Structure 1
Amino acid sequence: MHWLGGIRFFEAAARHQSFMRAADELHLTHGAVSRQIRQLEEALGVTLFERRNRAVFLTEAGHILHAAATQSLDVLGAAAQRIRAHGQPRALVLSCEPTIAMRWLIPRLPRFTESHPEVTLHLMAAGGPVDFARSGVDLALRRNDFHVGPELHAHEVAEEWVGVVCRAGASAGASSHRLHTRSRPDAWQRWAKAAGGAQRFGADAWYEHFYLTIQAAAAGLGCAIASRLMVADELADGRIAAPRGFVRDGSCYQLLSPVAFEHDARRRAVRDWLCQEAQASLGADPAQVAASPHPVRGAKGAAKRGGRKDGK
């Protein structure tokens, strides 16, 4: 039954009705997910998806397998919850968007451990909506670019400040390549709108993930749009420059929880520490920030995303 390994790829693709969105959730390439599903189809001897013009649709066999996979995952999730309940106190699992996790959160986690030795925190890299019941996640740090239901508690950690970044000493103008990411394809347009108009750059280059564009910019391959939080350390030590400063783009990072923060001291500790660290990072070098007199609140602002608001 070697084909069982492909079930998680199939379940994600069936749930999203998209190989690309499944790849984003699993932090793999579209090709990797497609290969896994093709191998599963070959092992079972049936076609699970109809592929039409980059869209995929479940076949009759696909619907049958998806129903069974969903039921099995629910059973496994419930069993995991029961097992974890016997091991109290257990670690808190914090799900965090990969680029923020790698470039900002992980370097600061030793400070959390030092200040809160009573809280064991496990980090999981993931983005987008989170199913707390099935994933085993306790908290999720997310940018508010998707709907949050009223059953969740949301606390704003920091506003999103974005700007053009490049290698220190490099030019950021018409001769520079403009580096794009498929995980935020509208990043340059959002920055241009918030900054008050587009500016001329050179040819376009595309990368699969946000952190790759920042790495490419730091290597001198062009200019990227970056969150100020993501480049806070590089700005501080001079490895990266933001010659045009940063502007609010109307979004924010928020901490999501299925349990009210006031009902759990450990969740409150994580929330308060994240807010403290975020504000310290955003205020570390005010000269780098092109401040506007008022926050920019677009249609995707935290107050309009749903969810219960705790604190801010």
Structure 2
Amino acid sequence: MKIRSPSMVEMHAFLAVSRMKSFKGAAQELCVTQAAVSKAVQRLEEHLGGIRLFDRNSAGAELTERGAELRKLTQRHVLALESAFESFGNLLQSRPVRISVIPTLGIQWLLPRLPQFRQRCPDVDIEMRQFRHDEDFTRDDVDFWIEVKRPHRKWPDHVQTHYLLGRELVTVCAPELKARFRQPKDLQSACLLGHTNFPDNWARWFDAAGVPFSPRLGPSFDLTMNLIVATKSGMGVAVVPACLVEMELSKGELVKPFDMEVSCGRGYFLCSNKDAPSFSAGDRFTDWLVEQSNHPSLALAR
């Protein structure tokens, strides 16, 4: 279908001049220059075949007969469209922020911080939605995802990402085990707990420590949360993202046998659909989230 209507810029300029009976007054109402209003009306007149919509005089601008007809036919519809977008915008601004978070990061890092966000933005509600390991980021019930960058995985083209945190790996163990490990090479004989999805974590750590490593891992777990619980129980030594054990380290439930961090090259990313409209609550939450990711510990984030 051939589109016959002009742009909304031209229609708003026309209606503003008709209301104010002045190009200067219309410019002030629309927060643009008088020249911009004049050019918009001129384009509209040309679009309509060169008809004159206003009689311009020293006192201002009066609608011509054809201009009055156009106003009568269009004003209600233009205002209705403006009202519809205003209502839609208000709906976006007031709705909750819906997020899907990889479980261990949600439990260990995000949830302990949410009271602080609630204190800062009491009018913004957060809804945690189910996390899916095979996420394709096409769900319409989620505004934002916090997901780990998995090996050999490309983000889909329709997704925009922002790195938050989690690249730094540290070794941790129960306090009673620490005395056994005086040098990094002492871990060669320890029970090394592994992560089934990231079996190279220990190889990265030993390589950074300059210690030969042969892949002799003990029990392995598919969730870092389970790995942390097993480590707290004294089952062995684990290498995990530092951000996931800040609570356990601050409480003394876990200790670092060696104060050394190693980059895993992955980390956790804030993901969203590039084409999704922004909304105030979402912008405030993501700004806060990025701010929190720059704090090394929960204690400093408060």
Displacement of 1:202 = 7.4
- Aligned pair partner of 2:285 in 242, 250, 270: 270
Is 1:119 matched with 2:124? yes
Aligned-residue RMSD, C-alpha: 3.2
Distance (whole Å) between structure 2 residues aligned to residue 170 and residue 150 of structure 1: 46
Displacement of 1:114 = 1.3
> Number of paired residues?
202
Residue 205 of structure 1 aligns with an amino acid whose one-letter code is P
Distance (whole Å) between structure 2 residues aligned to residue 236 and residue 229 of structure 1: 12
Residue 122 of structure 2 aligns with an amino acid whose one-letter code is P
Distance (whole Å) between structure 1 residues aligned to residue 207 and residue 201 of structure 2: 10
Is 1:142 matched with 2:157? no
**CA distance change for structure 1 residues 283 and 260 in 2, over 3 Å: closer, same or farther?**
farther
**What 5-or-longer segments of structure 2 have no aligned partner?**
1-88, 182-186
Distance (whole Å) between structure 2 residues aligned to residue 230 and residue 265 of structure 1: 29
Q: Give the secondary structure class of the aligned counterpart of 1:251.
A: coil
Deviates more, 1:268-277 or 1:223-232: 268-277
Q: In the alignment, what sits opposite 2:97? A: 92
Distance (whole Å) between structure 2 residues aligned to residue 210 and residue 179 of structure 1: 10
Q: In the alignment, what sits opposite 1:258? A: 273
Displacement of 1:262 = 9.2
Q: In the alignment, what sits opposite 1:180? A: 194
**CA distance change for structure 1 residues 276 and 169 in 2, over 3 Å: closer, same or farther?**
farther
- Aligned pair partner of 2:295 in 249, 268, 280: 280
Checking the alignment, whether the CA contact within 8 Å between 1:156 and 1:255 is kept in structure 2 is yes
Q: In the alignment, what sits opposite 1:216? A: 230
Displacement of 1:180 = 1.4
**What 5-or-longer segments of structure 1 have no aligned partner?**
1-84, 286-312
The C-alpha deviation readout for 1:192-248, integer Å capped at 9, x for no partner, is 345444458976112242211111111111011111010011112221111223222
Q: In the alignment, what sits opposite 2:261? A: 246
Displacement of 1:165 = 0.8
Distance (whole Å) between structure 1 residues aligned to residue 267 and residue 156 of structure 2: 17
Residue 281 of structure 2 aligns with an amino acid whose one-letter code is R
Q: In the alignment, what sits opposite 1:50? A: none
Computing the radius of gyration from Cα coordinates, the structure with the larger value is: 2
The C-alpha deviation readout for 1:148-189, integer Å capped at 9, x for no partner, is 123222112125110211012413434421111223333223
1:125-204 correspondence runs (5 A): 125-126=130-131, 128=133, 130-134=135-139, 136-145=141-150, 146-171=153-178, 172=181, 173-198=187-212, 204=218
Is 1:206 matched with 2:206? no
Q: Give the secondary structure class of the aligned counterpart of 1:117.
A: coil
Q: Normalising by the residue count of structure 2, what TM-score does the alignment of the two structures yield?
A: 0.58
Residue 292 of structure 2 aligns with an amino acid whose one-letter code is E
**CA distance change for structure 1 residues 161 and 140 in 2, over 3 Å: closer, same or farther?**
same
Checking the alignment, whether the CA contact within 8 Å between 2:166 and 2:243 is kept in structure 1 is no
Residue 134 of structure 1 aligns with an amino acid whose one-letter code is R
The C-alpha deviation readout for 1:69-105, integer Å capped at 9, x for no partner, is xxxxxxxxxxxxxxxx997632221111111111111
Displacement of 1:281 = 2.9
Checking the alignment, whether the CA contact within 8 Å between 1:164 and 1:225 is kept in structure 2 is yes
The C-alpha deviation readout for 1:102-133, integer Å capped at 9, x for no partner, is 11111111111111122211113525453343
User: How many percent identity over aligned positions?
Assistant: 25
Q: Give the secondary structure class of the aligned counterpart of 1:239.
A: coil
